[in-house]
Structure 1
């Protein structure tokens, strides 16, 4: 995405319709073989400038953490929600992701008037909302949420590394890398692994 106006066009449309508290919502961790799925909800104060804002997957880790700190400083409110490995196994990753996003929204102290949700699905909440496919690369609020979710999940996986250091969670964060697959072949799954996922079961 290019200029600031492009990033905030969805929010601007809502401001013009009378909404002032717009929350972006996104998740991180649908694809890994281990660990929770983590979501974030962020309410930005209008057209705030955040240099380098983008889809979290396109930002280097160090810069992502810097941006996460800036987002927390300027946001009117933000919150993190997650679904556990057990919930992923019970519900499947799709519904667990929606649950994590719902929890993030419910964790906000400031009640949003409208939600912009990454993806094509809506959340089970009595709030007006719009689903945006590719929203993390086109909408400022969703991009901010994607960064907070990714940073929070990475931090959790670094903690998990201390519990199960043989898997290298601090490197791959549970994603199906060669290193991770080799560790799985050698050690078998641990309680953090998603047993129903191909590559684990």
Structure 2
């Protein structure tokens, strides 16, 4: 795929959705961090249903520590891997209070040092909370990047590095959200919705879904 096609793809995605953002519900960088941590192998919808129950009263490091691991687990038991996630949430709160005065650090290394926080979670927080032009490659972005030919790669890190190189600078901040939303609602896994896709003519996927099967 050439640079002209890539630029036009992001131009169209921007035209269709000028101000994309995460579908996770949060009010502070800390709440975003916790929501993203909980979203691993879970849907944003399921995370929002859970966090609505405890963010209003316990949406701070001190508030979650007051709940304790069992209390957090009880609130998030509808989410996969809830016991491991509850343990990581409490450990993260303790580390934030001990080392960062309860604030979420604006630093990749410090973020990835938090329990349960990997590169993808750090990228989401840096992008969405702090406005850094990072790209957190999840299953949706990995699929869209490879299927369309936008930034093919064998693993998530390879795709991330490729996107960092090929996404035009003026689209870098929002590229993460456009690609996730496109993969979640249009370029879906089993049967991509090619007939209603706004970038289908630019996409290099050969086995496009015909109108008769859409």
TM-score by length of 1: 0.27
Q: Which has the higher contact order (CA 8 A, sep 6+)?
A: 1
More helix, by proportion: 2
